[in-house]
Chain A
């Protein structure tokens, strides 16, 4: 990435105050600063409207590397500081960027790195089974952990309390009545009005970051495809992109186009499922049945063409595994034409239904300011006027050759989030068609080259929920040293706590569904 106007301008502003060392890493703009300037940098960054996109740490020998990824106008900057492992602490950025809040707590829990001045120092991912001074992502922590019998129940988590006549508390989950992922929600309500919502996630912590260590690239791609089952293509692509960057591998154009088709197919399937589910949450079952049917037909084509309904393990380091035959291409095109017609009919039924309108409009309002403050991504951000899409603003192959129309709404309610999804389905259908037309002959996979020890890569793609950032560092012998995937849900979940305020308790499920964060992608 070349240094664009804003980065140069920003560097000159930092000038005397913060010393920035530009580290030469291929494809990444990497700035290294002193740890005491960590918070100061964030203060200056927020003034310049930089978006905080991701934060994570890694351990390299006796050093901790703290990373934060910022974005502006499609240009990404990776900020890094080094900490000695004797007394690892640095000033928090969460005071400036609310989006960094949970990420810093995660780092604190997993590495034992203290963020000074953090507005909310409670544990987040930390599990009762870990003894006080053991931190799972440090290199000396064994992959299998140190299990000592049954873990005591976690009953002392300090939830926010409300006091006063008429206020009451509703604990919901982690086990829900429907077949969804586990997560705990704690409501403070008065009557039916929600005063406060606190999320307690982490029930699907699988130790993805830990078990990634020491894997081969192929094996890591498979793991990345399981960060969140519904975003298997997105995460797999981001991880492969990061690994390919690190190893300096160029994928063939045909593979890039097929990756594009896979990602758009995943987007269409999930958006259709979501629109149906939102309608089901307000008891408009007809729409759900229609969208479920359309999604099912779509998934069956996935199985016929790619051999997997959810497209798992289609993307591998260096390319893709499944080629598209001419017959498959015409099958997909025929299917798209049919889906367009059906979708137009079903969406009209939704649009004309006044009872549905009454439920979806104005409910679950997320203002542009809040959306920006929390760095919300994907359809959640775009329904609240956040005009950002990696495919358009920081395009990667194959999106660098096509025009991506970004669906944008600014009402910020549930209906907006439905409309953004619908428009994205339409765009995705058009993109699939274009990618098929552009398919060039050639290989679908290039040979893997062993990356140098310590080389790193940053994969950034637009998954169906929004921007996915994947960071990978290699050890010697082609082994993974560190893998950190940042699912868009990690930022969007925090916005849910805000958008349900002033709604009534029975409207929470549909608000939640309109956001549809991934529990698994958040908990890692």
Chain B
């Protein structure tokens, strides 16, 4: 039964990710005074791409062809670790947050390889930029997560969320810092403005898009889907760690239903904030990203310090 719910949760993750992407796009369009496409448009796009024949460069090796499957699978596996609608699931019990970060790194490794594989200038450029950014983003992310795990005394997300739930509404300075750090990292890692622009057509400014420029058809669909999934993963991580209320602690149909509604509501609100932020700011210069991520790291560090100084002594 537990495993069934774990599978259900992962399926929900995969199934709802395009919806979240569609909702973000919809909000952005409205904020820019445009008519928005349907929020189901990402599903149609994915379907359209799967119908299309993938075009693969003659220079491509197996890495280029296998990478989309590896990236998608690794991202789905990362999704199994994060509690979406319920805590105490067997999948999240067996792997902790470090494993999740590992899955992300694994997917990114293959994405960067695929970018280099076909030997175009843009792919290599994108891979180089992606690795630069991720090498700065990962420490910041781990720092934010360690703050949380120190409070809960576990690196397991499921237990940590339960811990936050049981403590009730306590204002922890460390969590405020960690939240801010995690939000900054999430924006960088999911390639949103001001770090990267998912909607751009300018090859020279791209990071994530530059690596996948040569992909088409079902390969592109898988990569697009994986990045939508990644956006949702970060959203869920932020929503469920810092505001876990509503998540199901038992496996009754009603509790799970409420859990689903709660997370969808939270993600919808988060997406609105993301859309507002993306409308208000321009993309920053590429060399500002290191300052931005150093700031995220600093916030994470401050979070941990304030935990040690203010909270751990109690």
Contact = CB atoms under 8 A, between A and B. Distances in A.
B193 interface: yes
A59 B199 CA distance: 51
Interface residues of B, number: 29
Most buried by B among A168, A177, A293, A506: A506
B284 A170 contact: no
Interface string A60-71: 000000000000
B286 A168 contact: no
B282 A284 contact: yes
Nearest to B283: A283
A504 B125 contact: no
B288 A283 contact: no
A129 B284 CA distance: 45
A509 B285 CA distance: 12
Nearest to B194: A355
B31 A286 contact: yes
Nearest to B202: A509
Contacts of B205: 281, 506, 509
B202 A285 contact: no
Contacts of B200: 283
A504 B286 contact: yes
A177 to B, nearest CB: 4
Nearest to A173: B203
B202 A192 contact: no
Contacts of A286: 31-32, 279-280
A184 to B, nearest CB: 13
A289 B34 contact: yes
A66 B176 CA distance: 73
Interface in B151-200: 193-194, 197, 199-200
Interface in A340-356: 353, 355-356
A358 B283 CA distance: 10
A289 B33 contact: yes
A156 to B, nearest CB: 20
Number of contact residues on A: which range applies? Answer: 20 to 34
A359 B282 contact: yes
A508 interface: yes
A356 B207 CA distance: 20
Contacts of B51: none
B204 A283 contact: no
A503 to B, nearest CB: 10
B287 A192 contact: yes
Given A285-B199, A509-B202, A509-B205, A279 B282 contact: yes
A178 interface: yes
Contacts of A284: 281-283
A290 B202 contact: no
Contact of A169 (B121, B194, B201): B121
A505 B204 contact: yes
Interface string A504-520: 11111100000000000
Contacts of A281: 202, 205
A414 to B, nearest CB: 12
Given A170-B121, A289-B33, A293-B33, A283 B197 contact: yes
A504 B282 contact: no
A178 B199 CA distance: 11
Most A CB contacts (10 A, CB to CB) among B33, B34, B122, B200 go to B200
A282 B283 contact: yes
Quick one: which of A170, A282, A289, A353 has the most chain B CB within 10 A?
A282
Of the listed residues A177, A290, A359, the one surrounded by the most CB atoms of chain B closer than 10 A to its CB is A177
Interface in B10-57: 28, 31-34
A162 to B, nearest CB: 14
A384 B160 CA distance: 59
B193 A283 contact: yes
A13 interface: no
Contacts of B32: 285-286, 289
A26 to B, nearest CB: 49
A10 B299 CA distance: 68
A119 interface: no
B282 A177 contact: no
Interface in A121-177: 168-172, 176-177
Given A177-B202, A289-B34, A507 B194 contact: no
A506 B282 contact: no
Contacts of B281: 284, 353, 355
A104 to B, nearest CB: 31
B194 A283 contact: yes
Residue with the greatest number of chain A CB neighbours at <10 A, chosen from B199, B281, B284, B286: B281
A504 B121 contact: no
Interface of A: 168-172, 176-178, 192, 279, 281-286, 289-290, 293, 353, 355-356, 358-359, 363, 504-509
17 contacts: A168-B121, A169-B121, A171-B121, A172-B121, A176-B203, A281-B202, A282-B283, A283-B194, A289-B32, A289-B33, A353-B280, A353-B282, A358-B284, A358-B288, A506-B205, A507-B285, A509-B205
Given A289-B34, A358-B285, A506-B205, 19 more contacts: A170-B121, A170-B204, A177-B201, A177-B202, A282-B283, A283-B282, A284-B283, A286-B279, A286-B280, A353-B282, A355-B282, A355-B284, A358-B288, A505-B125, A505-B204, A506-B285, A507-B285, A507-B286, A509-B202
